[in-house]
């Protein structure tokens, strides 16, 4: 007997049943990372194509799924295959390029293709809306009349003689939609989503020299349809948006479409207005807070190619734009681009991937680029464009740093607002201008700091501030789980006074400000307020309208707020974000001060920003006050490299959770051992397992591991982790390129 015969060799040419039925492979909305094959019953065959949604039987229930392939054969014997239950769409909702991006994302972020597609194509999209938008407008187009024209066709043209009319008017005049459709085919009328106005297309300004320099290679790239990312590094108000507009204009002129990602749609009404003013109704807005009909209508306008420019938050990276020619990511450093539940994708990074797949340039804009992007620009992976001056020569806002250690010594008490901040706020209020106070305080974080020297207690191995737990009187590193007693006596750094517990939230500041300025109307904006029922837009609108004189808020107010009457901005404690237990804390602090300062003096009057800190010498604070991003970035990159944090390596966060703490802890420890057993060099370090900072949430205990590795190392780690069997009652959540480490 030859050796080969020991193996059960596959039949080289399996006999196929002559009447093999039509099959589909679907991505079902279940967390199982594989496709499933179904039979197509004869009555559904005509409706099935790649990209339609279907209902399929799945373990005794019916689930939604996307048809992604039409296989010829099946591994499972055909007689065992179940039939599709229903076909939901008349047109493929999923376009090939979106499917390609989804496949990439599913692989990279370790989600099932069905879950990614469910995030990419929201349910509320429904089917294509029937007929046309009833609120549309109709206009006559110039051109000779054909010899023969129906009576009602002629009547319709007469109705339009004096200019565009809402469709409802024509309906009232007895003109049915099919008559208009015929006239549209003949090229005699057009139908629009909104009133066509002459003033709609705004006159663009003359470009500055800097803008032209940035645009020249980009326009060429658009013309040639070459992929590649450009980092547009430009201070706030330097004219980045104008660069986006010009690049989009060129893209449209080639008959292609564009996607513009913004961090948060609700806070960018001015930006939206500018896009609408420039491009009119070819602009569509897609976001998840849109009401059913609006969302469905906008989505289909994009799908059908009626709208060619999409603006939206991270989910807009999945927009069904056909013939994509450009992607813009505004404020590319923003954390809102990372989705914090499954699939945990980063839309900025997916934008770069989609651009590569579509041969479309990608433009990433920021005044404070993420260090990952900055490094990519420095190493030549991205092109770097700079806008260092504001058009018209407007000055960057003045930033003044107050050393709170000195302040407290001088006023002999622990004041929240320094004398300088009170003085500047008072001046603004007297001039009937507005004051914005910022405190980025997350409820669960308290940390220990020296009043005299500003020293913050940090973990020796992770360089991350330790979190103080009143219960048990311990300080804990939420990365490596090192526990220690807080130093009882003197500051370990300057041997001065004992460390004090720090942190005052927005609520307390609101109260103190009310006491200092009893006349002023003081408002607050943070997630508590929003949970209380008022939306961020409502609070901001009251502030903009002058109903509020002072607004105290968390980072929500730092994003894109544009209230020209704000002339005084105060950062209550820049140390709060520096002390966050996260290796990105310096970067966040820099971004925050730069962004907050950008809120001051947007109008004609110059503004001042007061930054209060116990660490006035900290390089992130000093660099931000002087508007020196590059100096900050060089110094920060040295520290990142020393500790192998991104961008010098990748991170993978592994969260294990379940109802039984011992089981969760044991499994986390087991995964840690699995990672440590990987071949030398694959993984640079494994931090943890540690109880996650929110150690008990929704009746589940949570433990986490943080893996530092090269890109290849992350792949190896993922493969090793996924090969491990998951015990009952334990969940394992993998977060590739995590943003928040808590």
Start-to-end CA span in the chain (Å): 61
623 and 632 Cβ atoms separated by less than 8 Å? yes
* Shorter beta-carbon distance to ligand ADP: residue 514 or 603: 603
Look at residue 461 and give the partner it binds from ligand ADP, Zn ion, none, a contact being a CB closer than 5 to 8 Å depending on partner kind.
Answer: Zn ion
207 counts as binding ligand ADP under rule CB under 6 A:
yes
Residues 573 and 504: their CA atoms lie apart, in Å, by: 9
Closest distance between ligand ADP and the C-beta of residue 330, in Å? 8
Beta strand 398-403 pairing with 324-330: unpaired
- Three-state DSSP state, 434: strand
Query: Is 480 near Zn ion (CB under 5 A)?
Result: yes
Nearest Cα neighbor of 302 from 90, 317, 68 is 317
Could you tell which of Zn ion, ligand ADP, none binds residue 480, using a CB distance below 5 to 8 A set by kind?
A: Zn ion
Residue 205 contacts ligand ADP per CB under 6 A: yes
Q: Which is nearer to Zn ion, 368 or 465 (CB)?
A: 465
Secondary structure, 3-state, 355-394: HHHHCCEEEEEECCCCHHHHHHHHCCCCEEEEECCCHHHC
Q: Taking contact as CB under 6 A, which single stretch among the options 66-74, 202-210, 460-468, 665-673 is the one that binds ligand ADP?
A: 202-210
Instruction: Choose which of 25, 37, 153, 211 interacts with ligand ADP (CB under 6 A).
Output: 211
Question: Quick count: other Cβ atoms within 10 Å of Cβ 602?
Answer: 19
* DSSP helix/strand/coil, 115: helix
From CA 138, how far away is CA 306, in angstroms rounded?
15
Q: Are 399 and 609 in contact (CB under 8 A)?
A: yes
Residues 474-513 that bind ligand ADP (CB under 6 A): none
Q: Which is nearer to Zn ion, 495 or 642 (CB)?
A: 642
Q: For Zn ion, give the closer residue by CB, 87 or 477.
A: 477
Integer Cα distance of 722 and 242 in angstroms: 46
Q: How far is the CB of 461 from Zn ion (least distance, A)?
A: 5
When binding is defined by CB under 6 A, the residue of 37, 64, 221, 241 that contacts ligand ADP is 241
Sheet (strand 165-166) strand order: 165-166, 137-140, 189-192
Q: What are phi and psi of 547, to 5 degrees?
A: -70, -25
What letter does residue 680 receive in the DSSP assignment?
T
> Which of ligand ADP, Zn ion, none does residue 553 bind (CB under 5 to 8 Å by kind)?
none
Report the partner that residue 199 touches, choosing among ligand ADP, Zn ion, none (CB closer than 5 to 8 A by kind).
Answer: none
Query: What is the Cβ-side half-sphere exposure of residue 264, based on CA atoms within 13 angstroms?
Result: 15
- Interface pick for ligand ADP out of 234, 325, 570, 601 (rule CB under 6 A): 234
The Cα 60–Cα 82 span in angstroms is 11
Report how far residue 572's alpha carbon sits from residue 558's, in angstroms, rounded to the nearest whole number. 13
Size of interface with Zn ion, in residues (CB under 5 A): 7
Among 459, 550, 624, 675, binds Zn ion (CB under 5 A): 459
Among 214, 307, 462, 565, binds Zn ion (CB under 5 A): 462
Q: Which two tokens stand for residue 104?
A: 């990439």
Nearest-5° Cα angle at 223, 221 to 229:
25
Considering the complex, state which of residue 390 and residue 398 has its C-beta at the smaller distance from ligand ADP.
390
Identify which of residues 358 and 480 has a Cβ nearer to Zn ion in the complex. 480
Out of 112, 121, 175, 237, the residue judged to bind ligand ADP by CB under 6 A: 237
Residues of span 665-684 touching Zn ion by CB under 5 A? none
Contact between 477 and Zn ion (CB under 5 A)? yes
Q: How many residues does the chain have?
A: 742
- Least distance from C-beta 371 to ligand ADP, angstroms? 20
Q: 């015990």: which residue's tokens?
A: 727
Selected range binding ligand ADP among 9-17, 230-238, 368-376, 440-448, rule: CB under 6 A: 230-238
- 238 binds ligand ADP, rule: CB under 6 A: yes
* Residue 615 interacts with ligand ADP (CB under 6 A): yes or no: no
686 binds Zn ion (CB under 5 A): no
239 scored as a contact of ligand ADP (CB under 6 A): yes
Q: Which is nearer to Zn ion, 168 or 484 (CB)?
A: 484
Neighbour-count burial for 420-438, b at 16+ CB within 10 Å, e otherwise: bbbebbeebbeeebbbbbb
| CB nearer Zn ion, residue 529 or residue 690 | 690
Assign residue 506 a region (left: φ > 0; alpha: ψ between -120 and 50; beta: otherwise). Answer: alpha
> Which token pair is 117?
């597609």
Q: How many residues bind ligand ADP (CB under 6 A)?
A: 15
What is the Cα Rg of the chain in Å?
A: 29
Binding status of residue 461 toward Zn ion by CB under 5 A? yes
Q: Least separation, in Å, of the C-beta of 364 and ligand ADP? A: 13
Binding segment for Zn ion among 46-54, 454-462, 501-509, 534-542 (CB under 5 A)? 454-462
313 binds ligand ADP (CB under 6 A): no
Question: In this complex, which beta carbon is closest to Zn ion, that of residue 337 or of residue 479?
Answer: 479
Cα 526–693–716 angle (5° rounding)? Answer: 115
Contacts of 510 (CB under 8 A, 6+ apart): 522, 523, 524, 552
Please report whether residue 391 would count as binding ligand ADP according to CB under 6 A: yes
Q: Return the C-alpha torsion angle 322, 327, 328, 331, nearest 10.
A: 110
Please report whether residue 366 would count as binding ligand ADP according to CB under 6 A: no
Quick one: how far is CA 735 from the chain centroid? 15
From the list ligand ADP, Zn ion, none, which binds 238 (C-beta under 5 to 8 Å, kind-based)? ligand ADP
| Residue 237 contacts which entry, ligand ADP, Zn ion, none (Cβ below 5-8 A, type-dependent) | ligand ADP
- Please state the closest distance from residue 331 (CB atom) to ligand ADP, in A: 9
Say whether residue 242 binds ligand ADP (CB under 6 A): yes
Q: Name which position in 25, 37, 64, 236 contacts ligand ADP (CB under 6 A).
A: 236
Nearer to Zn ion, 506 or 585 (CB): 585
| Chain residues 130-159 in contact with ligand ADP, contact rule CB under 6 A | none
Task: Please identify, using beta-carbon distances, which residue of 400 and 562 lies nearer to ligand ADP.
Answer: 562
In b/e form, how buried is each residue of 710-731, taking b as 16+ CB within 10 angstroms? beebbbbbbebbeeeeeeeebe
Picked from ligand ADP, Zn ion, none, the partner binding residue 208 (CB below 5 to 8 A depending on kind) is ligand ADP
Nearer to Zn ion, 93 or 462 (CB): 462
Closest to 686 in 3D by CA, of 457, 460, 462: 462
Task: Find the part of the chain contacting ligand ADP (CB under 6 A) among 80-88, 199-207, 600-608, 719-727.
Answer: 199-207
Interface residue list for ligand ADP (CB under 6 A): 205-208, 211, 234, 236-242, 391-392
Interface residue list for Zn ion (CB under 5 A): 459, 461-462, 477, 479-480, 482
């Amino acid at each position: 007997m030859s050796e080969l015969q020991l193996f059960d060799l596959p039949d080289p040419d399996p006999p196929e049943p002559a009447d093999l039925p039509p099959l589909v492979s679907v991505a079902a909305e279940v967390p199982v990372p594989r496709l499933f094959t179904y039979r197509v019953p004869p009555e559904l065959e005509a409706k099935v194509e790649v990209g339609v949604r279907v209902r399929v039987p799945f373990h005794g229930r019916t689930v939604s799924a996307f048809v992604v392939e039409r296989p010829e054969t099946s591994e499972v014997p055909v007689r065992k295959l179940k039939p599709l239950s229903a076909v939901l769409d008349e047109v493929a909702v999923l376009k090939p390029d979106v499917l390609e991006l989804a496949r990439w994302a599913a692989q990279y972020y370790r989600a099932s293709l069905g879950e990614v597609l469910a995030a990419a194509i929201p349910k509320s999209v429904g089917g294509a809306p029937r007929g046309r938008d009833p609120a549309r407008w109709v206009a006559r187009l110039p051109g000779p009349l054909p010899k023969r024209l129906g009576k009602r066709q002629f009547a319709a043209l007469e109705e339009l003689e004096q200019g565009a009319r809402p469709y409802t008017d024509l309906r009232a005049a007895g003109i049915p939609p099919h008559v208009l459709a015929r006239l549209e085919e003949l090229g005699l009328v057009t139908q629009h989503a909104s009133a066509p106005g002459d003033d709609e297309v705004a006159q663009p300004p003359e470009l500055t020299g800097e803008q032209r320099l940035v645009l020249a290679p980009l326009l060429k790239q658009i013309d040639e349809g070459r992929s590649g990312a450009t980092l547009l590094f430009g201070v706030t108000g330097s004219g980045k948006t104008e660069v986006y507009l010009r690049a989009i204009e060129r893209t449209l002129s080639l008959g292609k479409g564009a996607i513009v990602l913004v961090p948060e749609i609700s806070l960018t009404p001015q930006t939206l207005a500018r896009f609408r003013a420039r491009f009119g109704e070819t602009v569509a807005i897609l976001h998840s807070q849109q009401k059913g009909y609006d969302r469905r209508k906008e989505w289909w306008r994009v799908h059908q190619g009626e709208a060619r420019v999409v603006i939206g938050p991270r989910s807009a990276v999945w927009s069904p734009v056909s013939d994509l020619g450009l992607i813009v990511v505004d404020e590319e450093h923003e954390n809102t681009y990372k989705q914090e539940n499954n699939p945990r994708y980063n839309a900025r990074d997916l934008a770069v991937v989609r651009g590569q797949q579509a041969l479309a340039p990608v433009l990433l804009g920021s005044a404070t680029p993420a260090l990952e992007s900055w490094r990519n620009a420095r190493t030549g992976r991205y092109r770097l464009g700079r806008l260092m001056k504001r058009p018209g020569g407007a000055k960057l806002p003045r930033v003044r740093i107050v050393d709170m250690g000195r302040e407290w010594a001088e006023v002999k008490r622990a004041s929240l607002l320094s004398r300088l901040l009170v003085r500047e706020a008072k001046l603004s209020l007297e001039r009937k201008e507005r004051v914005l106070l910022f405190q980025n305080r997350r409820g669960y974080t308290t940390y220990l700091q020296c009043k005299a020297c500003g020293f913050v207690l940090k973990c020796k191995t992770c360089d991350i501030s330790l979190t103080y737990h009143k219960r048990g009187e311990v300080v804990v590193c939420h990365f490596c789980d090192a526990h220690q007693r807080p130093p009882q006596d003197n500051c370990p750094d300057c041997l001065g006074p004992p460390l004090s517990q720090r942190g005052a939230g927005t609520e307390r500041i609101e109260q103190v400000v009310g006491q200092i300025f009893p006349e002023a109307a003081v408002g607050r904006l943070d997630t508590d307020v929003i949970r209380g029922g008022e939306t961020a837009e409502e609070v901001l609108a009251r502030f903009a309208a002058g109903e509020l004189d002072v607004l105290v808020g968390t980072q929500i107010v730092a994003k894109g707020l544009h209230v020209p009457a704000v002339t005084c901005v105060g950062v209550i404690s820049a140390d709060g974000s520096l002390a966050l237990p996260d290796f990105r804390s310096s970067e966040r602090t820099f971004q925050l001060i730069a962004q907050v300062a950008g809120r001051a003096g947007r109008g004609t009057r110059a503004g001042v920003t007061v930054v209060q800190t116990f660490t006035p010498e900290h390089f992130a604070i000093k660099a931000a006050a002087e508007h020196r991003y590059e100096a900050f970035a060089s110094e920060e990159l040295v520290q990142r490299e020393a500790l192998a944090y991104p961008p010098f390596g990748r991170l993978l966060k592994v969260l294990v959770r379940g109802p039984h703490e011992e089981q969760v802890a044991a499994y986390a420890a087991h995964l840690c051992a699995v990672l440590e057993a990987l071949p030398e060099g694959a993984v640079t370090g494994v931090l943890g397992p540690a109880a996650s900072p929110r150690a008990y949430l929704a009746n589940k205990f949570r433990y986490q591991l943080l893996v530092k590795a090269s890109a290849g190392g992350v792949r190896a780690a993922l493969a090793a982790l996924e090969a491990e069997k998951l015990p009952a009652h334990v969940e394992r959540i993998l977060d590739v390129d995590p943003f928040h480490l808590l």
